[in-house]
Amino acid sequence: MAKIIGGMTTSHIPAIGNAMHDKLEQEPYWKRFFDGYEPVKEWLDEVQPDLAIVVYNDHGLNFFLNQVPTFALGCADSYQNDDEGWGIPASADVKGDAELSWHIAETMIRDEFDITTCQEMKVDHGFMVPMNLFWRDKPMAQWPKAIPLAVNTVQHPLTSAKRCYDLGKSLRKAVDSYPEDMKVVVIGTGGLSHQLQGERAGIIDVDFDLECMDKIINDPSWMTGLSNDYIMEKAGTEGIEVIMWMVMRGALNDKVEVLHKHYHAPISNTGAGVLLLTDAE
């Protein structure tokens, strides 16, 4: 049977993509940030997952503002990246697993999540930066397969932390009922606090970020009780991306073990958090 062996979180800031491309990991500005990923990379080397489900938001590469699904699942055997104008070179295609995707789609729709299924899907920095952060030391042929799960955090009205958490529970049900032996990780991307435009551009709330990380681990019901307006007031308009971490959290048990936790701010305009969680027995 397929099994979720762990959940990870990470920010997906495009400047990280540039830093990896330019090999700046040891530069003073970047070192502490990148060091936060080393324990996760070591764990991944050890456990060798077969597939990663990447919960991310599209920033206008695949869905522009004229058509924005609330939840969209990639149902393809490969996913194309493209130039978004950040200066990060476009990557080769990432391998998918259409069969598992359709099984997830069937489970979610049965659970009354009316997701959009995408047999073609371009994946942007929200997806590629996390994949590179965790697997860039390996040639892409050795990366796990990946399934993109896009959550709209751009065009209002947006879904909620609670709905994302519940979607994670449906995702868990789907993976647990998939007959093929397969080790799966779920990655919640985005956040933490940041705002890229308007009068409050540049705000970061370290205390709120750290509180979110703690509660996501120990008391996810705190997070599911927050309104989007409150999250954006504290964490900025783009800080709302943190709701995507709740899909990962919903896919794990009520009690989790923390294998790694790291926070660094600022990177670019953002508070950047890393978590590696597994189900507590």
Distance in Å, CB of 16 to ligand DHB, minimum: 9
**Which of 254, 255, 272, 253 minimizes the C-alpha distance to 263?**
272
Distance in Å, CB of 270 to ligand DHB, minimum: 4
Cβ proximity to ligand DHB: between 10 and 70 the closer is: 10
Window 56 to 115, contacts with ligand DHB (CB under 6 A): 59
194 catalytic? Reply is yes
Q: Does 36 participate in binding ligand DHB (rule CB under 6 A)?
A: no
Q: Does 264 participate in binding ligand DHB (rule CB under 6 A)?
A: no
Q: Which of 12, 122, 163, 172 binds ligand DHB (CB under 6 A)?
A: 12
Q: Does 15 participate in binding ligand DHB (rule CB under 6 A)?
A: yes
Query: Among 10-18, 28-36, 229-237, 273-281, which window interacts with ligand DHB (CB under 6 A)?
Result: 10-18
Distance CA(176)–CA(79), nearest Å, equals 24
125 catalytic? Reply is yes
Distances (CA, A) of 143 to 1, 92, 136, 220: 21, 12, 9, 30
Catalytic residue (choose from 59, 194, 262, 264): 194
Window 201 to 260, contacts with ligand DHB (CB under 6 A): 238, 241
Q: Does 269 participate in binding ligand DHB (rule CB under 6 A)?
A: yes
# residues near ligand DHB by CB under 6 A: 13
Cβ proximity to ligand DHB: between 96 and 190 the closer is: 190
Query: Among 112-120, 143-151, 208-216, 262-270, which window interacts with ligand DHB (CB under 6 A)?
Result: 262-270
Q: Does 14 participate in binding ligand DHB (rule CB under 6 A)?
A: yes
**Binding track over 110-149 against ligand DHB, x by CB under 6 A:** ----------------------------------------
Please state the three-class secondary structure of the chain as a single string: CEEEEEEEEECCCHHHHHHHHCCCCCCHHHHHHHHCCHHHHHHHHHHCCCEEEEEECCCCCCCCCCCCCCEEEECCCEEEECCCCCCCCCCCCEECCHHHHHHHHHHHHHCCCCCEEECCCEECHHHHHHHHHHHCCCCHHHCCEEEEEEECCCCCCCCCHHHHHHHHHHHHHHHHCCCCCEEEEEEEECCCCCCCCCCCCCCCCHHHHHHHHHHHHHCHHHHHCCCHHHHHHHHCCHHHHHHHHHHHHHCCCCCEEEEEEEEEEEECCEEEEEEEEEECC
Q: Does 270 participate in binding ligand DHB (rule CB under 6 A)?
A: yes
Catalytic residue (choose from 125, 156, 260, 264): 125
Residues with catalytic function: 125, 194
Residues that bind ligand DHB in the complex, under the rule CB under 6 A? 12-15, 59, 190, 194, 196, 238, 241, 268-270
